[in-house]
Amino acid sequence: MSNEEVQRRGGLFSCCFQKKGNKVSPQHEVPHRNKEDATEDAKVKAFLEKKRVEEEATKEVRNQITTEKENTKHEIVEITNEDLTVELQAFEAIKSILSTETHITIDVESKLETARDKDPKFFELTQGYIHNDQWVDMSKPRRCNFKDDSGENDDDSDASSDIKQIGKFRNRKEDGAHDLKEQYRAITLRQLRAVFHLVSRMCEENEIPVSKLYRKKAKKTTTTLVDNHSLLGEVTLFDILDLVVKPFTQATGKSLVECLPSTTGSQPPRWFVNNYNGEPFLHTMVCIEQMYKDFALSTNNNDANVFGLSGGGMTEDTPIWIRAFAHRQCDETESIDLKRSGFARAMKCAGHRTLTILDQECKGFKDARYLLELSMSQLKDKERAENQEVSSVWAVYTARDHIFEDPDYGDEELRHAVGIVSSGMAPADLNYRSTTHAASSNREKHFPQIRCLAALSIDVTKAIVDNVDTTSDVLDFVKKLEAPEKVNEVCRGAFVSTVSSLKAALNRNNATWEAALVALNRGLTGRSQRLMFDFGKDQGWDKLTQAKATALMRHLPPSVQVLSVSHFSYGESMMNALIDWVENAKYLRSLTIKDTCVGGAEGGKLCGIRLAKAIGASKTIERLELSATDLVGSRNSEAWEKALQESNENSLSYVELNGMKYLENMVDKSSFDPKTSTIRVTSLDGQHHRLAWVNNQFSDATLSVEEEESLEDASCASVEIDDMN
């Protein structure tokens, strides 16, 4: 792809973020540009320049080869029969390839002209369009599907394939459109691209009334719109409803999905999309395209189940529910009760899997419908968690140009959007040899967390319903909310519930950090499946003091299902705060503490006893891993033995204990303090600890053979103990 093409398709993403009109509280204001944005822009610019140089070099080599051939074609060269045969074969191969490419180009152009003749105005929707130099036929019904490698297929699915058909065939009505329930009017990526290509053509052919564009009327842009590419970056879903959806569906009064010839019948959503219609549609599309790529890997397999992933297997024909294309825009009689409306039923149909698209200007945080959809999906998942049902996945994507580096090989790729996922990782993170946590962190590090922090200013009572979506039902619903503050808390918590957001809040200022902790504690619902903290060096936690670390532990929400902390050596108060949380956690299934020492003469022993009691009493914890800690040792082994015995009546099924025996030969014995019976030790990762030292060993991080055997015999769970004696 040329430099010009790259810029045309996505180069304007990084410059559409406007500060004007963004009225949020000062401490949570979204800056127009910050250091992080400038760094990403510099990387993108360098990447594009590198590609330009490579293209020019390639072109120069081709020209040189052509020149050399021209200079030598008249020379008399002795050619053997064997050489001639090879040359002829190569010539025929090249001729065949060129002929095929020419034929394909002519064929595609011919189909385009035919489509234009049949439907000059909406041929992308009714006939087809060119995407990646291939013709995409939209004139015939196409069944929806997703990838499923579980081996379980419906009767109408291909048993030899991992493609699972979804939805039911339906006959069209006399008006030529389908008549589907609103929750079954999801739209596929293939159909979305048809809308996008139609809008792109309208921009190129100057069919867009610039003065009537939503962002132009709302004075949300200062762009002069002197060229078609910048114009494409200003068209929103509000504009598409007026310029495309309503004219296309007016004759039938149906939704866009019901009127498309490519719709076979019901199209049940795999995901529900929570988006702000005032965002440029170009940005919405790049978010959806990237989400489809990140969730392309099937999640109906053992690897995905281990990490609690769902919603994968996305193909071009997998439907997602977007209100603008599912709602009958010309029919004012469709349900106005939001709790019983189409989007509520669509959310349920999608298994409450929700894709939230966060616009660059964070205007969605001021939009009532956007907030109500988000809060409804979050609150519904809390009910699922309370009923001990499997929590669904929530992903938030935003448009942002950045250079993604392959974590295995370092290959660079220009991407236009990035997402973070509630489960801690996307299916795409399983594709790399690196650990899934490392792969996820590598992908999500490009997310501009400053946008998430803007959620701290959310107030649904001050939200409005924008532009053509202005309907009294939404505002009336807001006024009648019994607990609007709960909606605020849920929405705020959803956006600051990631490790990256918390780091961004910490590095912003104290007011933002404190607000983020409150939002974290009050807002997280059943979606808070995983929190994976690594407080090691160069992980972005340099400003985390002991007091702030303790506060973080005290504000963890009780709904977390998987918690992992490593390099978290902030003393006894921090560990006690963590244990307090474990004692009250309602849904915790897995707890991992690694490379973390309490330290002191009694700290590790006493905290270990408290943690053992909490584990023994837990009704939900299934997996426990303690590695390189001073929480399990000879001085509290009896407490751990009792805890493992008590856990036999509960859910604990796997225990992994890794000690610190390997460090005993590396201690500086001159640092021993006889008053406290402690010694100074430096772990392999460079952390300095002062640990209990009794009988020339770490008494809180090692076990005797007999003590180890007693622990293994005490539990019915699988117990693995290493480096303890």
Instruction: Give 704-716 pLDDT, tens digit per residue.
Output: 999 999 999 998 9
Place 90 in a pLDDT band, splitting at 50, 70 and 90: low
Please state, in angstroms and as integers, the Cα–Cα distance from residue 334 to each residue in 253, 331, 352, 467, following that order: 11, 6, 22, 19
- Mean pLDDT check: name the lowest of 174-183, 221-230, 357-366, 512-521: 221-230
Return the higher-pLDDT residue of 438 and 159. Answer: 438
- Alpha helices for 590-678 (secondary structure H): 603-617, 637-647
Q: Given this model, what pLDDT does residue 664 score?
A: 86
CA-CA distance, 156 to 261, in Å (whole number)? 22
| Residues 3-26, mean pLDDT to the nearest whole number | 36
Q: In the prediction, which pLDDT does 93 show?
A: 60
- In tens, the pLDDT along 578-591 reads 999 999 998 899 99
Q: Report pLDDT for 529.
A: 67
Q: Are 136 and 194 in contact (CB under 8 A)?
A: yes
The alpha carbon torsion through 179, 184, 185, 190 (nearest 10 deg) reads -120
Distance CA 355, CA 351 (A): 12
* Per-residue pLDDT band at 503 (split at 50, 70, 90): very high
How far does CA 40 lie from the centroid of its chain? 19
DSSP calls for 500-522: HHHHHHHHH-HHHHHHHHHHHHH
Q: What distance in Å separates the CA atoms of residue 279 and residue 469, rounded to the nearest whole number?
A: 14
Q: 220-229, 359-368, 643-652, 693-702: which range is least confident on average?
A: 220-229
Alpha helical stretches, state H, 2-34: 3-6
Average pLDDT over residues 111-139: 95
| Residue linked to tokens 């020492």 | 597
Taking 70 as the threshold, does the pLDDT of residue 6 lie above it?
A: no
> Of 7 and 565, which is predicted with more confidence?
565
């050619």: which residue's tokens?
Answer: 79
pLDDT, tens digit, for every residue of 380-414? 655 555 554 455 788 999 999 999 998 888 889 99
The long-range contacts involving 299-303, CB below 8 angstroms and separated by at least 24 positions, are: 299/427, 300/148, 300/149, 300/150, 300/152, 301/149, 301/150, 303/430
> Could you give the strand order of the β-sheet that contains 412-421, starting from the edge strand earlier in sequence?
187-188, 319-321, 271-274, 354-357, 394-405, 412-421
- Please state the rounded mean pLDDT for residues 218-242: 69
582, 510, 40, 419 alpha-carbon torsion, rounded to 10°? 30
pLDDT band at 2 (very low <50, low <70, confident <90, very high): very low
Q: In this structure, what are the phi and psi dihedrals at residue 358, rounded to the nearest 5 degrees?
A: -95, 115
Q: How far is CA 73 from CA 16, 60, 68, 125, 377, in A?
A: 54, 20, 9, 51, 70
Is residue 335 scored above 50 in pLDDT?
A: yes
Please determine, for residue 10, whether its predicted confidence score (pLDDT) is greater than 50. Answer: no
3-state secondary structure 413-448: EEEEEEEEECCCCCHHHHHCCCCHHHHHHHHHCCCC
Residue 202: pLDDT band (50, 70, 90) is very high
Average pLDDT, the chain: 82
List CB contacts of 309: < 8 A, sequence separation 6 or more.
299, 393, 423, 425, 426, 427, 430
Residue 307 has pLDDT above 70, yes or no: no
What pLDDT score does 434 carry?
A: 65
- Stretch 363-378: mean pLDDT: 86
- Average pLDDT over every residue of 520-542: 79
What CATH class is the domain 559-722?
Answer: alpha beta
The residue-averaged pLDDT of 471-487 equals 66
Percent residues over pLDDT 70 in the chain: 78
Query: Tokens 């360098």, residue?
Result: 46
Three-state DSSP at 85 gives helix
pLDDT confidence of residue 257: 98
Check residue 3 and give its pLDDT.
Answer: 40
Domain ranges for the chain, please list them: 3-56+122-133+182-258+267-311+321-454, 559-722
Nearest to 195 by CA among 131, 144, 150, 112: 131
State yes or no: pLDDT of 475 exceeds 70: no
Binned at pLDDT 50, 70 and 90, residue 137 comes out as: very high
Quick check: 309 pLDDT over 70? Answer: no
Instruction: Return the closest-CA partner of residue 420 out of 515, 287, 552.
Output: 287
